């Protein structure tokens, strides 16, 4: 093999390894939200979300591996009941403090002491070529528990308008808040919480 052939071979090998290297994607905060729902009084489901989530996804399609780490601002919780205006029906019926204010208190997310919750993956589980689930740990109010996210859909490709590469995913999980010490109101407010997380991310 002569020098030109050696150089060409080295270039092809390095290109191939670059294509197979894991890519880091940064979450788009405008299109990434953790949503949740919980049964209230056995009558209805209260839906809410955290408005601020940030993090990174590292994904290696060739190696079928990856990792995700997201931080959620617990004070950004939003269940559609932000403030009770003085004299309003909700204030007269439910008191001066809103549900979102209650959720931020020591009874629930205790944002004054724990301003963030953290999810850190330990393993990506594939079913053939398809990302099936993600195992990881959720740290909430200082308590860490394993949580498996079931991936409903995961896709990488160009943005349909701007043609930038991007990835998007929908994942779900069900957990018991009492596992994290969030016991207030059980059973009137259900122990089981359903998570639906949608995220979009762009290469770093």
Binding site for other proteins (CB under 8 A): 84-86, 91, 95-97, 101-102, 104-107, 110, 112-115, 141-143, 181, 183-188
**Which among 195, 60, 34, 71 is positioned nearest to 131, based on CA atoms?**
60
Shortest Cβ 85–other proteins spacing (Å): 8
The distance of closest approach from Cβ of residue 14 to other proteins in the complex, given in angstroms and rounded to an integer, is 47
Nearer to other proteins, 50 or 180 (CB): 180
Least Å distance between CB 94 and other proteins? Answer: 11
Give whichever of 145 and 155 is closer to other proteins, judged by the CB atom.
145
Enter the tokens of residue 135: 């195992």
Minimum distance from residue 133 beta carbon to other proteins (Å): 26
CA distance 43 to 160: 41
First to last CA, the chain: 39
Whose Cβ is closer to other proteins: residue 166's or residue 175's? 175
H or E segment at 5?
Answer: helix 3-20
Place of tokens 């002491």: 113
């Amino acid at each position: 093999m002569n020098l030109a052939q050696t150089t060409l071979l080295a270039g092809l090998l390095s290109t191939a390894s670059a294509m197979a290297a894991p890519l880091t994607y940064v979450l788009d905060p405008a299109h990434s939200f953790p949503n949740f729902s919980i049964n209230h009084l056995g009558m209805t489901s209260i839906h809410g979300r955290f408005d601020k989530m940030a993090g990174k996804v590292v994904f290696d399609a060739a190696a079928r591996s990856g990792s995700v780490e997201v931080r959620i601002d617990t004070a950004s919780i939003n269940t559609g009941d932000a403030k009770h205006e003085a004299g309003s029906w909700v204030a007269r019926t439910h008191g001066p403090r809103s549900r979102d204010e209650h959720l931020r208190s020591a009874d629930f997310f205790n944002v004054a002491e724990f301003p963030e919750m953290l999810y850190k993956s330990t393993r990506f589980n594939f079913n053939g070529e398809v990302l099936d689930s993600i195992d990881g740990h959720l740290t909430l109010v200082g308590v860490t528990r394993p949580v498996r996210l079931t991936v409903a859909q995961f896709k990488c490709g160009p943005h349909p308008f701007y043609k930038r590469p991007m990835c998007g995913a929908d994942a779900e999980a069900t957990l018991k808040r009492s596992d994290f010490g969030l016991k207030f109101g059980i059973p009137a407010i259900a122990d089981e919480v359903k998570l639906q997380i949608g995220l979009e991310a762009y290469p770093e």
